[in-house]
Amino acid sequence: MTVAPDSHPDLGVGQPWEVVVERGKIAEFAEAMLSEDPAYRGRDAIVPPTFLTSAARWAPPGVRVNVGFDRKRLLHGEQEYVFHRALPRAGDVLTAQERVAERYSKPGKRGGTMQFATVVTEYRNAAGDLVAEAKATFIETAGKQ
């Protein structure tokens, strides 16, 4: 399948926002994922692998990037989390920032064009060290032909 880079890639960068890793939020998330792991309870709770999705949802208005896709044709294709050092834990204060890392398109299966955008969120500690990265791939399906 041919992958064509867009001629005018719009690789936006969002604004940083503060993420306070809260033990109650970790326990709530663990319960929602049907996990009874004691690692997710108590004052020293660590975060589950996909927990940082909640940090993104609580970002203040205006700081996140907008890939500009039609919501009616928007799919979340892939999601990945990479942890570069010890997992974030209750009490940590991180700084998150999103960027559109990549845009590309492919021909749709029934004609038209599918657009792809990869959004990377970096999570850094107070020293500025990269703690974790989240990578989301969004797809805008081809419009009706």
Partner 1 sequence: MKPGDQAPSREFGPLTRQMFVRYSGASGDLNPMHYDDELARSAGYPSVFAQGMFSAALLAGFANDWLGAANVRRFGVRFREQVWPGDVLTCSGTVVAVSAEAEADLVSVELTAARQTGGVAVVGTAEFALPRNAAPDAAGPAEPQ
- The yes or no reply on residue 40 touching partner 1 (CB under 8 A) is yes
- The yes or no reply on residue 28 touching partner 1 (CB under 8 A) is yes
- The yes or no reply on residue 8 touching partner 1 (CB under 8 A) is no
| Phi, psi torsion values for 109, nearest 5 degrees | -65, -30
**DSSP secondary structure code for residue 47 in this structure:** P
Side-chain half-sphere exposure of 17, counting CA atoms within 13 A: 19
Distance of CA 119 to the CA centre of its chain: 7
Interaction mask 49-88, partner 1, x per CB under 8 A: xx--xx--xx----------------xxxxxxxxx---x-
Q: Which residues sit at the interface with partner 1, rule CB under 8 A?
A: 25, 28-29, 31-35, 37, 39-40, 46, 48-50, 53-54, 57-58, 75-83, 87, 135
